Amino acid sequence: MDRPLAPFHPPTRLLMGPGPSNLHPRVREALAAPLLGHMDPLVLGLLTDVQGLLRDAFGTENLLTLAVSGTGSAGIEACLAGLIEPGDRVVVEVHGFFGGRLGEMAARAGGAVTKVEAPWGRAADLEALRRAAREVKPRVIAVVHAETSTGVAQPLAEVAEIARDVEADLLVDCVTSLGGMPLHADRLGLAAAASCSQKCLGSPPGLAPMTMSPGAAARLAARTHPVPFYLDLPLIARYWGGDHAYHHTLPVNLVYALREGLRLAAEEGESERHRRHARHGAALAAGLEELGLEILAAPADRLPMLTAVRIPAGVDDAAVRRRLLEEFHIEIGGGLGELKGRVWRIGLMGETSRMNHVILLLAALGRVLERSPDAIGQAIDAAGAVADTQAVGAR
Amino acid sequence: MDRPLAPFHPPTRLLMGPGPSNLHPRVREALAAPLLGHMDPLVLGLLTDVQGLLRDAFGTENLLTLAVSGTGSAGIEACLAGLIEPGDRVVVEVHGFFGGRLGEMAARAGGAVTKVEAPWGRAADLEALRRAAREVKPRVIAVVHAETSTGVAQPLAEVAEIARDVEADLLVDCVTSLGGMPLHADRLGLAAAASCSQKCLGSPPGLAPMTMSPGAAARLAARTHPVPFYLDLPLIARYWGGDHAYHHTLPVNLVYALREGLRLAAEEGESERHRRHARHGAALAAGLEELGLEILAAPADRLPMLTAVRIPAGVDDAAVRRRLLEEFHIEIGGGLGELKGRVWRIGLMGETSRMNHVILLLAALGRVLERSPDAIGQAIDAAGAVADTQAVGAR
């Protein structure tokens, strides 16, 4: 470098994009706790804690439950690469950017991928999925639970039934859903599910919680074609829960923070946490509609933690996001893939899912879009009314 | 979980194992700074800073210089998987655990691997390597710069000459060396080098700095066989330094900390930092020998930041390490692979490489091994004498 760099002191921003979300002070404190080595008995004890907390979050008793040392994508790819041997048939349901990514990863793992597509902004076409599953007889079916590019929720019960029907392993991308809406991996009979440490789990990005059923784990152990070393789940599992044989140097600070984030979620209680996300998601949607904005997903398909809203004609996407960031210190997300420039993505995940944040966003966005004070007041009122009707146990 | 978990408050330990090393207070502070989103213009600016600082650390002007969002192993595997197409011939030099791992990763990437082995505790057999290179005509030659399992340094100039001679891409594992001893990727003509954020760079584990020459990067872009999505360097590079297209959610807190660790290293100055590591490594070796312990590597082959010392006959490996940890809050490492139970590995990396830590380790280990007060005093004196002779610019 030609010149010495100044220290970096980030401003405090309200993170209302598609993730990461804001960190609870306890999570930030945990992150900066004194570093211990990855073979320290105290750290090995933490791994057991985190595995237990993750089992609760995933709704599973799977022994193979841990956090991969990478972001959500690393966890998804570790599961997909593990379940797919080259040439295996894979059916991937795609109705957004992240469904497409599942297909990309499955193909790179050597899978013969059949995509079942639905329009971006809708949930899966279950009849088309059933037809494809019966026709292809895939080894693996992969779906996204919460499609972060469109704000669409994918109900899993029928997908799980389709997978059972054709005896395929069902892999679910729970990157955006885990911690924000119900998931019962065991009741659904999922072969694998993977998520991320940030978003609704509320810790920093960099770890990928995952779980795999005993049956799927056994097939993983019996693979003939190697997976990438870094994503080799049996080796990672041996470090986490076996004889703790060294595989890689755990990002210990991130594990401190993940444990604290999961502790906060456990203290809040799973049902209350899901209700909180649902309440504030519904309030935001009501407020946005009152501002005259159109939400991409139909009401029945909407995610509680991520709302994709159409950018009104004639409005400058980047300019609006820049003003929100610079004047109000609020981050929202732009569109991905075919929705780039066409939607904004507003997240209410983890600590960010608070009524005050809904109000702030409506006020700030209303002002940037030059809505009248009256319209802004009405939007806030609409959001508040919806929140009130769902306010059992609110805080 | 059956019961709520208590908060975790780790003790402060002196990390003298093979990594991680202790964090400077400024690095811990940076780690816990307010989180920003991975598409925030301020974060995108940080990426440019980190790329510049990493180029200085690697001794390169390579455009493709960044940190992979995983631990050191992820960075090495991203480089190897990128440089090797299935069936490519690869020569891997192995004289320890991490050389073996290079071979493992190269084979998983589809490489036809020829291993050139030397005894654990020695450097490469250069004549054997030259012979193998000429015979095999490999696409890639891979070596470890600082073999963390044995404490052996591998001089790179002759290896680079061998690679040039057969027109192979030379990939160097710098996980333990970077920041602690000289490396000049461009002068050596390295195709790729990869390291980790922890150890001698002194930030938390979880990121993998890497660099790749323009020629190697061009071949990577022209590959026909896909690499794993998460380790796809052209996609990662596009996010870091291109049009910032989304690839994965950057572990932003770790990038804050890496930047601060690199700033500290730049303030200290590269030469002084390398001298500091050399001085304290030599002091430790002198003290250990004065305690009657035998160092695995010959003097000329020793690493400054990692010393493997033979466990004396009749001494209980685990009991000694446990007493150091519990009574003195000092972590040292055990042996890996064929050296398990046969050596201890004592690290002096980054912030841990301080004379006071050398003294503490000698005193604590001397007491655990029941050396006399006089012997311990002599060991400290021997270490001090060596440090004094190298004390130009010491602090």
Query: DSSP per residue over A292-332, as a string?
Result: T--BSS-GGGB-SSEEEEEPPTT--HHHHHHHHHHHH-EE-
Mutate to test the interface with B, among A56, A230, A236, A344 (most CBs of B within 10 A): A230
Tell me the pLDDT band of B1, cut-offs 50, 70 and 90.
Answer: confident
- Is B395 a residue whose pLDDT tops 60? no
pLDDT for position B392: 56
A70 in contact with chain B, both atoms CB, cutoff 8 A: yes
Q: Does A13 touch chain B (CB under 8 A)?
A: yes
Q: Cβ–Cβ of B17/A39 closer than 8 Å?
A: yes
Q: Give the whole-angstrom CA distance, residue B175 versus residue B193.
A: 9
A172-195 pLDDT tens trace: 999 999 999 999 999 999 999 999
Element (H, E) at A354: none
Percentage of residues in chain B having pLDDT higher than 90: 97
Q: Which of B84, B230, B268 to mutate to test the interface with A (most CBs of A within 10 A)?
A: B230
| Residue B75 in contact with partner chain A when CB distance is under 8 A | no
Question: If you average pLDDT over residues B254-271, what whole number do you get?
Answer: 98
A107 and chain B: CB distance < 8 Å anywhere? yes
Please tell me whether residue B146 adopts helix, strand or coil conformation: strand
Quote the minimal CA–CA distance from A71 to chain B in Å: 7
What are chain A's domains?
A: 25-266 (3.40.640.10), 269-389 (3.90.1150.10)
Mean pLDDT across the stretch B50-65? Answer: 98
Q: Give the distance from residue A22's alpha carbon to the nearest chain B alpha carbon, in angstroms.
A: 7
- Per CB-CB distance under 8 Å, the chain A contacts of B251 are 71, 204-206, 251, 254
Return the residue of A nearest to B22 by Cα. A35
Distance CA B10, CA B257 (A): 19
Does B218 contact chain A (CB < 8 Å)? no
Place of tokens 């966005």: A365
The amino acid at residue B165 is D
Q: What is the CA radius of gyration of chain B?
A: 21
- Whether residue A36 and residue B230 make contact (CB cut-off 8 A), yes or no, is no
Predicted confidence at residue A392, as pLDDT, reads: 56
**With 60 as the cut, is the pLDDT of residue B393 above it?**
no
Q: If residue A208 lies in a helix (H) or strand (E), which one and from where to where?
A: strand A208-212
- pLDDT one-digit tens code per residue, B300-340: 999 999 999 999 999 999 999 999 999 999 999 999 999 99
CB-CB contact of A360 with A376 (8 Å)? no
- Helix/strand/coil for A18: coil
CB contact under 8 A, A336 and B246: yes
In Å, how far is B229's CA from the nearest CA of chain A?
6
**Record: contact B34-A11, CB cut-off 8 A:** yes
As a whole number, the mean pLDDT across chain B is: 97
- CA-CA distance, A3 to A11, in Å (whole number)? 23
Answer whether B230 touches A (CB < 8 Å). Answer: yes
Partner B contacted by A72 (CB < 8 A)? yes
Euclidean distance between CA atoms A162 and B312, whole angstroms: 62
Q: pLDDT 10s per residue in chain A (395 long)? A: 777 899 999 999 999 999 999 999 999 999 999 999 999 999 999 999 999 999 999 999 999 999 999 999 999 999 999 999 999 999 999 999 999 999 999 999 999 999 999 999 999 999 999 999 999 999 999 999 999 999 999 999 999 999 999 999 999 999 999 999 999 999 999 999 999 999 999 999 999 999 999 999 999 999 999 999 999 999 999 999 999 999 999 999 999 999 999 999 999 999 999 999 999 999 999 999 999 999 999 999 999 999 999 999 999 999 999 999 999 999 999 999 999 999 999 999 999 999 999 999 999 999 999 999 999 999 999 999 999 998 754 44
Q: How far apart are CA B90 and CA B103, in angstroms?
A: 8
Q: Min CA distance, B295 vs chain A (Å)?
A: 23
- Taking CA–CA distances from B226, the nearest residue in chain A reads A108
Residue A242 in contact with residue A62, Cβ under 8 Å?
Answer: no
